[in-house]
Structure formats: structure tokens, C-alpha cells
Structure 1
Amino acid sequence: MIEKRKKRKKIFYVPGMISLVLIPLFCFYHFFKVDAFMVYGSLDLMVSNKEEFEKYKIADLRKYKRFDFNDVKLKELDKVKELRFFVRDIVKKYDTINGAKIHFGSKTDYDTFVNVINLVAEEKVPTWALFENDIYVLASPKPKPNKNNYHVITCGYYEANKDFWLKEEKEREQAYQLSLYKKNWLIFLGYLGIVLLNIFALVKFNKNRNYNQK
């Protein structure tokens, strides 16, 4: 007769299972604590000096409508919306009489400033100047129609620059990820070692149980 097969007990190694669960949680906690996943950015701005500002008489070039920001972003959303409509209108109409003067008070937060800069870029403002705590927004006059019958050859500098900045951004991101691995390689190595140790202990534990059951 065929000997009845005994049902094999499930492998259950408590220390290994606990460590495999808790160590990744500890690693993620450490990464978030040191802001390892935080993405940093920057704004490329040119600030006018007093001589240039007075030389081109920017303060007197337009009849400026003043927009004051002196609070956090969430409390300034309505004002930002009003500013957007005003800027869009003067740019669309090629208004060379009116302009926008945006003033940032002492209580203005960084998010509000960045939001205004993004607004200027999104509305394709042709001319704007940052001086002290103010931004002056000016629309350009309507371009005159070209009566000469000839074709303009575009050399493609915009696309070349666009590709260049995309490449720079990609290289910067790769360098950041590499620095993250270099900075925390001990943690990754330690976790890998513990995983291998637990696998070895689990196999050995299973062999001992099988040997004792014989």
C-alpha cells in the first residue's frame, strides 16, 4: 500500500517577516523626514537697477493700474484672477496707454510671487520689469503689416534652446537621483543584507524542522 502522505506545515518565520515589513517603512520615514523626495526649482529673473529703471522711465511709460498683494496665496486668488483678466486684455488689445503695477507687501508669501510670475509667462506679456518690490507690466504696440513680398527664414533658435533646456533639466534630474542613491547607499545595502539574511535563516529554519520531523 502507498503510505499516506503527511501534510507539510507552512513555513512561518516571524522575525524575518516583521523585519521585511518594518524596515521599508523605516526607510520611507527616513526619506520623508530628510526631504529626500522634495523637488527643488528656481526662477531665472533679472532685476532692474535704479539707473536702468530711471533711464528708460518705466514708471512713466504707462497709466498703471495698481494691484497690491500683501497676504498668502490662498487669500489672494481673487486678486490674481482680476490681474490675469486685466493683463490679458491689455496684451490682446495692444494697449500702449494702460499697464499694470504689481506691488508685493511685506506679508506676501513666496507662492504668491511665483503665481504672478507664472501669470506673466502664461499670458505672454511682451515686456515687464521687476524693480524693488514692484513688477511693471507693459503691452507692446500692434506690429505693422509687412508690405514687402518676401519670405522670412526662421533659423529655429527657439527649438534649439528648448531642446537644450530640456536636456539640462533631464541631466539635472538624473544627477539628483544619483546623489540620492549615493547619500543613502548604506540604507539600501543594509536592507538588501537583511533580506538575504532572512532568506538564509528561513531556509535553514525549514531544513531544521524537516530534520526534526523525521
Structure 2
Amino acid sequence: MSDLLHWNRLQLGNIVIPEGQVSHGEYVRMVMNYPCQYAFMQQLFLLSEESRNSSSEMWLESNGEKYYAGTAEFSSRIGSMIRQRGLIANLTLRENLLLPFLYHGDKHRLDQATDEAAEVAERLGIASALDEKAGERTTYTHALMSLARCMLAKPAIIVAQEVHIGMPPDHLQRFRELSTQTLAELGSGLLYLTSSADEGSGLSYARTLTIEADSRSLDSDKENR
């Protein structure tokens, strides 16, 4: 598979992000502050008319085709695991899980996700709560829901933040095991956004790109083990 997520040089306030890419199956870590992370993700996921053409700063190259950020084709192929991403309280966990597939409007993908939801929830240990209202949930459950959506969507590339921050040690260890296994099975590329190189995910990265607050950047090609 030849999936590649590309982005051009980006100016985000007084921060410069150099152009880069993440390939299918590759893990890349980008270290930058939280405001910069959210600005970067806005470039990825904001649906706007201006970005739905070749002037877009980001695109996915897949099997000879280019899908630009801001299009449904792009967003259906790019997964996300966003820190503090909320669940809709008055919907069930099952409905929250399937909501992105409803938004995409692809009946085949929605039917497939609906069929697989129970099995995915069973693997993650949340099957018994699927038909409960989301209400207030722990950091661990929010993280599991993000992981479950990726398992259902099977994206080419996943953009993730530190969804494990704030978990108690037993949940943290379990989530590390589940996420590491899931990423290996999916084979997706991973762009991991973090405010610190000591983020504690337990993952190994092909590259770490550190974005400095004074607009300088340092690209480290050294593998992190």
C-alpha cells in the first residue's frame, strides 16, 4: 500500500512547521505545544471550500490518487485520536461510536461499522456499556472510544494526541497494550502529537520532529527506542 500523508511548510502564528510526510505503517512524533497542535489539526480536519482543491496545504496520496484536506475522501481515510475529545452525553456509546460514519454518508461503511461494533467493543472491554448513555465517562473510556473508531474505520493514517494522559497506572498499562496491538494489526501510519518527548506512550518512532516556540525546528532522524 502506498498511502502517504503530506503537508507543506505551515506558518501557525509565530511557529513554523516544516513540510513533511508520514507513510503507511510509519510512526512519526511531532513535539509542539497544545495551541500549535490544535491549529495543525484544524488544518487537517476543517471542511472548507478553500481547501478542497490543489491549493490545500495537506493531502493524502493513495494508490496514485490525491485527496486534499477538506474533502470527505480525505477525512474518511484519516483517523484521529484527539485528547479530551468529548462524547455526546445523551447518545449511547454505540451511537457515539457510529456517529462519524453517519456524517460521512457512506451506507456501506456505516453498515460494516454497525456489524463490527459489538466485536470491537468486546475486544476493548466496553461491550456491556454499548447501549448505555455516554453521560460522564473516564479518560480511559474516552481513549477506548477513539481507539474503537479507528478499529472500525481502518484509516490509512491516524493523527493522535496523548489520549492516555490522566489515566491511573492500571488503565494506562492496559491502554498501552491495546493501542500497540491495534496499531500493529491496522498497519496504519501514525502521526503522534505531543507536548513532550517523554510522553509515555511506549511506542517506537521512525522520526521525531520538534517544533520550537521561537520558530526554529529540529528534525531528528534518530530512531527512538
TM-score (norm 2): 0.23
Q: Which has the higher contact order (CA 8 A, sep 6+)?
A: 2
**Larger Cα Rg: Structure 1 or Structure 2?**
1
Q: Which has the higher strand share?
A: 2
